[in-house]
């Protein structure tokens, strides 16, 4: 039986359009005794937009372990603890794992709300198979490590989904072309925001579409799985 005190609630926040927040998310943010967030400034702007005033405390990869301990004490004392990331679902390429793990270890109840995430819209709008997919998240920023990981993924039959930063996207696409071959792909940029854009085609065609200029915004890459083709020879 879980602890009879408070609980931890993981609340997704909009990745762009603020209208994507759910009614239930707003209700729980309003009811929370404290909100743990990656950046109090970012969450503060969200709260201000919806007219909410709550105590905010920061948690991130450097303080999450110690912060988790203090949040568990408050939850066991009966408080409702809301956990949010800067955008999207807490724990998906964002901190929250240690807080969830601490809640389980301390027998504190956990709720995880459905809501905004970049992963699913990019996948469903890609035009690639969605029945089976493999979410890799961010690849390494080190070229050799990145290429080695792509080589490991090259035999996967599932559709592959990656997050990527704008300053590294062209290098990553070049590595994908080298290690995966010229597969069908889709690149989603700035999902739910004003300049939302999709690029579709083979990997080489997306590279051509991006041209020579800089790329801006948050990016999701969706790459076709291996359909029996072999990697290009080096």
For residue range 158-197, list pLDDT tens digits in order. 999 999 999 999 999 999 999 999 999 999 999 999 999 9
The pLDDT of residue 64 is 80
Q: In this predicted model, which residue has the larger pLDDT, 59 or 3? A: 59
**Mean residue pLDDT across the chain:** 93
User: Is it the case that residue 39 has pLDDT exceeding 80?
Assistant: yes
Q: Give the pair of three-digit tokens for residue 94.
A: 């964002």
pLDDT digits (tens, 9 = 90+) for 114-169: 999 999 999 999 999 999 999 999 999 999 999 999 999 999 999 999 999 999 99
pLDDT at position 230: 59
Query: Which is higher by pLDDT, 230 or 195?
Result: 195
Domain 7-112 homologous superfamily, CATH = Tetrapyrrole methylase, N-terminal domain (3.40.1010.10)
Share of the chain above pLDDT 70, in %: 95
Domains in the chain: boundaries: 7-112, 119-223
pTM confidence score: 0.89
- Rounded distance, CA 117 to CA 206, Å? 23
pLDDT at site 2:
46
Mean pLDDT (whole number) for 67-82:
94
Q: Quote the pLDDT of residue 48.
A: 97
pLDDT attached to residue 62: 79
> Is the pLDDT confidence value at 227 over 90?
no
Q: Look at residue 63 in the predicted model and tell me its pLDDT.
A: 83
Contact (CB, 8 A) for 110 and 10: yes
From the number of C-beta atoms within 10 Å of its C-beta (0-12, 13-18, 19+), residue 145 rates as exposed
Please check whether residue 146 is in contact with residue 139, taking contact to mean a CB–CB distance below 8 angstroms. yes
Q: In whole angstroms, give the CA distance from residue 202 to residue 214.
A: 20
For position 93, what pLDDT does the model report?
84
- 120, 216 Cβ separation under 8 angstroms: no
In this prediction, residue 234 has a pLDDT band, given cuts at 50, 70 and 90, of very low
Q: How far is CA 226 from CA 20, 92, 188, in A?
A: 34, 25, 21
Task: Please name the fold of domain 119-223.
Answer: 3.30.950
Residue 14 has pLDDT above 60, yes or no: yes
What is the side-by-side strand order in the sheet with 34-37? 56-58, 34-37, 80-83, 7-10, 109-112
Taking 50 as the threshold, does the pLDDT of residue 1 lie above it? no
């Amino acid at each position: 039986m879980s602890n009879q005190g408070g609980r931890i609630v993981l609340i997704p926040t909009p990745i762009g359009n603020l209208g994507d927040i759910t009614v239930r998310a707003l209700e729980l943010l309003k009811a929370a005794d404290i909100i743990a967030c990656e950046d109090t400034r970012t969450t503060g702007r969200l709260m201000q937009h919806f007219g909410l005033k709550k105590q905010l405390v920061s948690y991130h990869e450097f303080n999450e372990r110690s912060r988790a301990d203090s949040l568990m004490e408050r939850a066991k004392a009966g408080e409702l603890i809301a956990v949010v990331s800067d955008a999207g679902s807490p724990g998906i390429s964002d901190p929250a794992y240690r807080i969830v793990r601490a809640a389980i270890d301390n027998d504190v109840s956990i709720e995880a709300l459905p809501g905004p995430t970049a992963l699913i819209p990019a996948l469903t709008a890609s035009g690639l198979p969605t029945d089976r997919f493999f979410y890799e998240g961010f690849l390494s920023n080190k070229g050799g490590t990145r290429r080695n990981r792509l080589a490991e993924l090259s035999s996967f039959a599932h559709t592959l989904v990656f997050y990527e930063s704008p300053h590294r996207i062209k290098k990553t696409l070049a590595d994908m072309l080298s290690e995966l071959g010229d597969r069908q792909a889709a690149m989603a940029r700035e999902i739910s925001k004003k300049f939302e854009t999709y690029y579709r085609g083979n990997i080489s065609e997306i590279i051509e579409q991006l041209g020579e200029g800089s790329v801006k915004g948050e990016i999701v890459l969706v790459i076709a799985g291996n359909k029996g083709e072999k990697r290009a020879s080096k």
